Amino acid sequence: MSEAIATDQELERGVALSQGIYLTPSGAIINDSVTLDEFAAGLARCQVLANATMWCIGDLLYYGEQRSDWGESYTQAVEVTGKSVQTLMQAVRVSKAYPSDERNTAVSWSHHREALTLEDPAARTAALERAATEGLSAMALRAQLKPERIPPAVVCPRCDYEWIPGSVFLK
C-alpha cells in the first residue's frame, strides 16, 4: 500500500475515480468527453469509497478507544465529522463486530449493520452471503431478519370479540 498522503490542495482538485471523473469535497467534476464505460467505472468506484467511509470511521474510532492516553474521542469526532454520537457509536459497534478480514465486500456497511441483529457470527455471515447472492438491499435484509411483529390479539371484555389493534375483528 502506498504511504502517499493527498494534500488538501490535491483533494480540492479531486481524486480520480476514472478517466475524466474526479471526486472532490463538494461532489464530482465530470469532463464532457466521458464515455459510458468511464461513467460506469466512476460510479462504481464512488460507491466503493462511500461504503468504505463508515468502515473507516468505525475503525478509526475503535482504534482511538484503545488509546487510553488520547482521552475521550467522541466529542472531537462529532466536531470533525458532523455526525451524531449515536452514528459514531454505531460505526464502532459494526467495526468491532466484523474485523477487516471478516467483512463481505459484496454488500454494504449497512448490510453488516442489519446482520448484527443475529447473535451467532456464522448466521451473520450466512445472511450477508445470502444478501450478496440474492442482490438484497440492506432494507430487504432487515425485513428478512426482523419479520414484522404482529401484536397479540385483544379480547373485548364485554362481547368477547378478538382483534389485533390496527386491524379488523377476528371473530
Parallel/antiparallel/unpaired status of strands 154-155 and 162-163: antiparallel
Q: pLDDT tens-digit profile of 128-149?
A: 999 999 999 999 999 999 865 5
Q: Which residues contact 57 (CB under 8 A, 6 or more apart)?
A: 77, 81, 83, 88, 91
Mean pLDDT of all residues belonging to the chain: 87
Beta-carbon count within 10 A of 90 CB: 18
pTM equals 0.74
- The pLDDT of 60-85, averaged and rounded, is 87
Closest CA to 94 of 113, 75, 71: 113
- Please name the helix (run of DSSP H) or strand (run of DSSP E) that holds residue 33, with its range, or none: none
